[in-house]
Chains A and B, each alone.
Chain A
Amino acid sequence: MAGQNCLVANDWICGEYLRSRSHELTEATVQHIWITAASVLIGLAVAFPLALLARRGRHFAGPVLGLTTVLYTVPSLAMFSLLLPLFGLSAALVVTGLVLYSLTILVRNILAGLEAVPQEAREAATGMGYGPVRLLWEVELPLALPALMAGLRIATVSTVALTTVGSLVGKGGLGNLIEDALPSFFKAQVLTASVLCVLLAVAADLLLLGAQRLLTPWTRIRTSAGASGVPGIAKTEAG
């Protein structure tokens, strides 16, 4: 009986809510995860060629960096509204918007990582007969990986948070639950969805941090305090 009462009394924390709406919560969480994952993966696939293009010279770098920065100033609310005529009320709309946002962070960090590759490493590889493709995949990319992963972590965490705004078109994962609960002041639902959202972001961040450690074992040899992604964040925010 006590469990029933917390729904009636509109408590912040309600075990009965978790029990009776677990299906709804799971569905929203799954939608949240796949929208975020799709956005970040597509964002990465688009950002990489853009960063390579920007690296080719100043007349490419200016427009690429300028355009992705301007995209970032468009408020998410407006972005989703403006994409509406193109996509209708679909998840593709939310994913497209989130991809466009992730580009700013990803392009900057990939570019910063590639530009930080020591010239000697490049020359040594070229001297050993590496072609441009092999140079990129086997020398430059691994060396740029810490900066890339730092960017990926920021982009993923921001995307998890931004996905909630997708509830504007009914495809916001946990954001949908928050939006639905607003008119009736359903406290338990707003709090549960918000907490799940933060937990998702933290879990994704830790997962990527683990992946980064596995992929770049050599960075752990240097035990300097600044090696834990802080420089990457600095680069992202620069300019």
Chain B
Amino acid sequence: MGVIAEAWTWLTTGANWSGDGGAAHRLAEHLYVSGIALAVACLIALPVALYLGHVGKGGGLAVNLSNVGRAVPVFAVLALFMMTPLRNSGYLPTVIALVLFAVPPLLTNAYVGMTEVDRSVREAARGMGMSGTQLFVRVELPLAYPMIMTGLRSAAVQVIATASIAAMVGLGGLGRIITAGFNTYDTAQVFAGAVLVALLALVVEGVLVALDRLLSPLRRRRTA
């Protein structure tokens, strides 16, 4: 219990939050890097997955390729970037590493969501005279929506947890609080940093669940 109390003290001490190495700045860095990485990953993964799912071809290859991405250690990618001139480009190495990390869950879920759309529903829509675009926008996308959001949620949580690894190669984010505490044998600070990252992940997950409920295309029709 001692560590928890000390971590609470650390978190409620104003001095730990201010300044360049303070928790507030680290939190902002963490959110900024994770947000950009997630947005870029969505821009890459979703069009590819949705198109392949709509056409119904080449998805197996895309899913397998993106699973290879899971095998690439973020730490190794960051270390490789630190060997190149990119190390002087601020948050770019972290963003690229996290994009590679976030693409697999997004791609897999969106593709599976598209392929799980019932074949008879597709055929009915075609029979009603829908064009390919109409079929995609009015039938496939709404039905695949829950899986896409599930992928987005798990990608967001993983990206936020993983962004802390950037600290191992000296880049910014909440991980720096943890490594700084680790280097000075300050368990309370390590615990405080871990709690901050985990809380951030849970808050983002909560926000995305709420957004999901608000935006769900099926919800309105069901009540109507």
Contacts and interface: CB of A to CB of B under 8 A. Distances in A.
Interface of A: 12, 70, 72-79, 81-82, 84-85, 154, 157-158, 160-162, 164-165, 167-168, 175, 178-179, 181-182, 185, 187, 190-191, 193-194, 197-198, 201-202, 205, 225-226, 228, 230-231, 233-234, 237-239
Given A75-B162, A75-B175, A82-B191, A194 B68 contact: no
B73 A72 contact: no
B161 to A, nearest CB: 4
Given A75-B162, A161-B73, A175-B75, 18 more contacts: A73-B161, A73-B197, A74-B198, A75-B163, A77-B168, A78-B197, A82-B187, A84-B187, A161-B70, A161-B72, A178-B75, A182-B82, A190-B83, A194-B80, A201-B71, A205-B71, A228-B60, A233-B108
List of 3 A-B pairs having minimum Cβ-Cβ separation, nearest first = A78-B194, A201-B71, A194-B76
Contacts of B169: 182
Interface stretch (B10-18, B125-133, B147-155, B215-223): B147-155
A233 B168 contact: no
Interface residues of B, number: 52
B98 interface: no
Given A73-B202, A194-B73, A78 B79 contact: no
A154 B184 CA distance: 35
Contacts, number: 153
A165 B205 CA distance: 24
A23 B146 CA distance: 50
B89 to A, nearest CB: 16
Contacts of A191: 80, 83
B115 A81 contact: no
Interface in B114-165: 115-116, 147, 150-151, 154, 157, 160-165
Contacts of B187: 82, 84-85
